[in-house]
Chain A
Amino acid sequence: MKTAFAFLLLLTGAAIAHAAPPADAPVMASTKPALSGDAARGRKLFFQCRTCHYPEKAYGNHNGPNLYGIFGRKAGTREGYEHYSEAMKNAGFVWTPQLLDFWLAHPDTFLPDSSMIVFATTAQERADLIAYLMQFHD
């Protein structure tokens, strides 16, 4: 398992300080060929995420932080968002598509103390959501 996670680090170049998943975390999906995401499907899948998140820059923060430009941003650092859990404040890594996929797939073991609700998703749904979110950046 540790080798799988090391592979993830290699893949993403993320600097993970405190949020490493436990040794018994499931083997991550990215050891398989990456699925191709569809942003149009992701747009609809993301509807229920809008309970808490806007990806549009102009709309600002909501129940959760705004997700504009999420990839490449250090976790827990959205300007003006005051409600991060301690787990997210201390996460220390930079968000990549691979890390978001891993979190959404393993919420019980990776960042389990985050205040975010993680609904069950398939690997394809996660790929679609990520493809949608990747549209929102400068």
Chain B
Amino acid sequence: MSTDDTSATGHGSRRDFLRKLALASAGAASATASFDLSAAAPAPRRDIRHWDATTDVLIVGSGAAGIAAAIEARRAGADALVIEKFHVPGGSSSLSGGVCYCGGGTALQKALGFDDTVEAMHDYMIAASGLHASPDKIQIYCENSVAHFDWLVDNGVQYAQKFSDEKEISIPDGSLYFSGSERVWPYRETIRPAPRGHVPPSPHLIGGRDLMAALTASALKLGATLKVRVSAERLIVETDGSVSGAIVEENGQRLNIRARKGVVLAAGGFIHNRAMLELFAPELAACSAPWGRAGDLGIGIRMGMAAGGAVLRMNQGFVIIPIYPPETIVRGIMVNERGQRFVPEDGYYGLLGHEIAFHQNGRAWLIADHDIAFGWDDFRLPVAATAPTIAELEGKLRMPAGALVQSVDYYNAHASRGDDPLLHKAEKYNVPLRAAPFTAYDLTLQNVFAPVHTFGGLHTNIDAQVIDAFGDVIPGLYAAGRTSAGIPVGPYIGSGVSVGDASYFGRRGGRHAALRRA
């Protein structure tokens, strides 16, 4: 490709200029990490001499976003071709818990006797997502959540009519649970909690397999085509800047696929692209357990960036510190390097991990007494130190003298009455830490079991259309799931928001593309 300076202002659209900017910045970045957009640079339509295949909507990736896009594209009457890099379809969605965060009075919520409203769901999602919330996306997601759950059921996803009151859905036959921090302070004070985690029943939170098996079968039944071991490399861009296809690789051969209506990038996040992760998300790169199927390499994001797509929230993601189950461990306290508490320990485990990764230098400890310490060597939580007194424990942890003693004394004084005036942990977890010996579990992100996944991606509107740096839509280019910057933000507000966002906005993108006049 040309990086000739003389052509930068001589001709071409804003998009050409943007592309050069992207290439230039990629070149600069490569000095510190080997992140390079050039392999994903779009091909001009004029360089494409023939088409090897033609479809209406080309979908890159076969996870929840891609398959949902295929279903809706077919329902709108368009041809849909899904390509998958690996030989097993389903993406990270199929390895996930398979939870969809739904509410506002879904059929399952009603059947199990829970009242929920669109307003309560909306207010919780806005409040818990904090400054990075996407109000327009959250609003339309909540308004259509009841219908989205019906859509999942209509497409063959099966749910059990059973509620689980566990903090983690650890029973094999339940389908509805509190999957976020709805019952945690401060949200419970002003927003009526409702269980919104909807999940196919499964042991060990692996409902994603059943979820994706059902959705994929539905897409195929509707006539979508799924090709495995085909990976996308570059978008094909018309002279007017619109996207009209992609160059893909199959069995070592390059193929030009024409997409008459549009291309949906649904190729996951970038947790397994180390250079990209270190460049954009150093907090996430520090975590011990990159979580996702092998395709989370940032391919879709890079293709979109190279075509001028803007990106958002590239350093955000979920950082899960699964201290529970069992719930008794939540009676312990989490402290930072200064021996101070900083998060209600009964928060969603994505909240716990986020606070450590982004606000506590990646270092923290969970303090337990003899009554709640695990009676086994738990793979999740390595033991940093044990001691007969809190004073000795803080010495072993090299905390400022007296700091942890003060935190535990203060906590115990109020916990003995079931209170937690500092962080408002729920009453049932407020039990003094008095039984020696005491254990400090190491929650440092490199040592603790810390599953981590990326949330940053291409900037999109509510129809999953990719937006460029000028705020304009790139015609014919869509992104959904973790290839886009969607509803999930850090701190992650609850299980099911990512797959829920992927499936819902994948649907919107697939439908919008199918109905687009190209």
Asked, given contacts A56-B379, A63-B95, whether A48 binds B291 with beta carbons under 8 Å apart, the answer is yes
**Residue of B whose beta carbon sits closest to that of A49:** B289
Asked, given contacts A62-B204, A117-B294, whether A52 binds B95 with beta carbons under 8 Å apart, the answer is yes
What is the minimal beta-carbon distance from A54 to any residue of chain B, in angstroms? 8
Q: How far is the CA of A113 from the CA of B88 in the complex (A)?
A: 9
Judge whether B95 and A51 touch: CB under 8 Å: yes
Judge whether A44 and B292 touch: CB under 8 Å: no
Judge whether B449 and A117 touch: CB under 8 Å: no
Residue A92, interface by CB 8 Å: no
Residue B203, interface by CB 8 Å: yes
Residue B45, interface by CB 8 Å: no
Q: For A48, list chain B residues within 8 Å (CB).
A: 289-291
What is the minimal beta-carbon distance from B452 to any residue of chain A, in angstroms? 9
Asked, given contacts A59-B204, A119-B272, whether A44 binds B288 with beta carbons under 8 Å apart, the answer is yes
**Residue of A whose beta carbon sits closest to that of B86:** A117
Q: How far is the CA of A44 from the CA of B272 in the complex (A)?
A: 16
Q: How far is the CA of A51 from the CA of B296 in the complex (A)?
A: 14
Judge whether A47 and B289 touch: CB under 8 Å: yes
What is the minimal beta-carbon distance from A116 to any residue of chain B, in angstroms? 9
Judge whether B291 and A51 touch: CB under 8 Å: yes
Q: How far is the CA of A111 from the CA of B292 in the complex (A)?
A: 21
Q: How far is the CA of A43 from the CA of B294 in the complex (A)?
A: 20
Judge whether A119 and B291 touch: CB under 8 Å: no
Judge whether B206 and A63 touch: CB under 8 Å: yes
What is the minimal beta-carbon distance from A44 to any residue of chain B, in angstroms? 6
Contact digits for A91-119, partner B, Cβ 8 Å, 1 yes 0 no? 00000000000000000000001010111
Q: How far is the CA of A26 from the CA of B393 in the complex (A)?
A: 52
8 Å CB interface, B420-457 against A: 446-447, 449-451
**Residue of A whose beta carbon sits closest to that of B452:** A48
Q: For B512, list chain A residues within 8 Å (CB).
A: none
What is the minimal beta-carbon distance from B323 to any residue of chain A, in angstroms? 15
Q: For A52, list chain B residues within 8 Å (CB).
A: 95
**Residue of A whose beta carbon sits closest to that of B289:** A47
8 Å CB interface, B132-154 against A: none
**Residue of A whose beta carbon sits closest to that of B272:** A119
Residue B363, interface by CB 8 Å: no
**Residue of A whose beta carbon sits closest to that of B290:** A48
Residue A50, interface by CB 8 Å: yes
Q: How far is the CA of A44 from the CA of B446 in the complex (A)?
A: 8
Judge whether B95 and A60 touch: CB under 8 Å: no
8 Å CB interface, A32-64 against B: 43-44, 47-48, 50-52, 56, 59-63
Q: For A61, list chain B residues within 8 Å (CB).
A: 203
Q: For B87, list chain A residues within 8 Å (CB).
A: 113, 115
Q: For A117, list chain B residues within 8 Å (CB).
A: 86, 293-294
Judge whether B379 and A43 touch: CB under 8 Å: yes
Among B86, B289, B292, B294, contact of A50 (Cβ-Cβ < 8 Å): B289
What is the minimal beta-carbon distance from B97 to any residue of chain A, in angstroms? 11
Interface CB pairs A-B, < 8 A, 10: A48-B291, A50-B379, A50-B449, A51-B292, A56-B379, A59-B204, A62-B204, A62-B206, A115-B87, A119-B272
Residues of B within 8 A of A (CB): 86-88, 95, 203-204, 206, 209, 272, 288-294, 379, 446-447, 449-451
Residues of A within 8 A of B (CB): 43-44, 47-48, 50-52, 56, 59-63, 83, 113, 115, 117-119
Q: Which 6 A-B pairs have the closest CB atoms?
A: A47-B289, A117-B294, A115-B88, A48-B289, A47-B288, A63-B206
Using A47-B449, A117-B86 as known contacts, list a sample of 13 further A-B pairs with CB atoms less than 8 Å apart, ordered by residue number in A. A48-B290, A48-B291, A50-B449, A51-B289, A56-B379, A60-B203, A61-B203, A62-B206, A63-B209, A115-B88, A117-B293, A117-B294, A119-B294
